[in-house]
Amino acid sequence: MPKHPEYEIKCVSDLIAMLRAETSASETTWFRGHSDILWELEPSINRQGYTDVFGSGIRLYKKFVQNSVKLISNPPREEYEWLFFMQHYGIPTHLMDWSESPLIGLFFAVDDVSKHNVDGALYIMEPTVFNDQAGHTIIGQKDIFAFGIDDETDSYLLTKINATNKQAKQPPMAVIGSKNSARIQAQEGVFIAHHRDLKWMENNFNASNWGWRHRIPANAKANIFEELQYLMMDYFTVYPQLDNLARKIKESTK
């Protein structure tokens, strides 16, 4: 069974009640929102129908680096930084977005109006417990692995995974890294880096002691989205770019 039983979040105050009851300041907690509760816990690269997932990932990586350098004022130097950029601009990768902010998680569960007719989900996890259960333990520390700092993360780089035997599967790893874009910073972005076992989270979730989820009823989504606007959680807050600023200004002057 997941760490806590599932119940419904129908408003922001329900979220606060959940946080008080199920989380603590002594344990790091991450959040992820799904517009559709039937969506599985898997990285975006695994939802594209590629027959060779990591070979396709390498091609996407090369194309993105080739064509984006002139569009970025301070281009990344490290592979993981490029992967962060790719992930946050919609290129499918083996990384899965999570957030340190419960409001960001809730926002992504309700922001898609086309999905207001189906239940959504807010997933919650404790990354240090996750890493421990997956066999990734920083000895003597209750800490999170960091790309560019901890050597253990090197084997989760796209190029390293692609070079390994396809049968050499490792569990995913909860990782942090430099927040190298305004979008990652705004979304308090953190990641689950997958190896070749792209279904590990989904397959182990129900028996885990690291994660749980709550249902967002379809008929509560519009109300929650409105409440989030009062808390300044809008498209410009989550996606801080000029087109969303213009959208916010236009809507506020109606």
Q: What tens-digit pLDDT sequence spans the chain (254 residues)? A: 788 999 999 999 999 999 999 998 888 999 999 999 999 999 999 988 888 999 999 999 999 999 988 888 888 889 999 998 888 888 999 999 999 999 999 999 999 999 999 999 999 999 999 999 999 877 656 689 999 999 999 999 999 999 988 888 899 999 998 776 777 777 888 999 999 999 999 999 998 999 999 999 999 999 999 999 999 888 787 776 776 667 777 676 66
Tokens of 234: 């809008």
Q: Give pLDDT, residue 239.
A: 74
Q: Give pLDDT, residue 178.
A: 79
Tokens of 171: 């569990």
> If DSSP codes are grouped into helix, strand and coil, which group holds residue 97?
strand
> If DSSP codes are grouped into helix, strand and coil, which group holds residue 16?
helix
Task: Measure Cα distances from 14 to 29, 40, 53, 58, 120 in Å.
Answer: 17, 24, 39, 42, 15
CA distance 135 to 148: 20
Task: Give residue limits of the domains in the chain.
Answer: 12-252
Q: Any idea what DSSP says for residue 139?
A: T
Amino acid at 77: R
Q: What radius of gyration do the chain's Cα atoms show?
A: 18
Q: Give pLDDT, residue 141.
A: 61
Q: Give pLDDT, residue 114.
A: 97
> If DSSP codes are grouped into helix, strand and coil, which group holds residue 77?
coil
Task: Measure Cα distances from 40 to 8, 202, 252 in Å.
Answer: 19, 6, 36
Q: Which long-range contacts (CB under 8 A, 24 or more apart) does 181-185 make?
A: 181/84, 181/85, 181/88, 182/240, 182/241, 183/88, 183/239, 183/240, 183/241, 184/84, 184/88
CB hemisphere CA count around 251 (13 angstroms): 10
Burial class (CB in 10 A: 0-12, 13-18, 19+), 150: middle
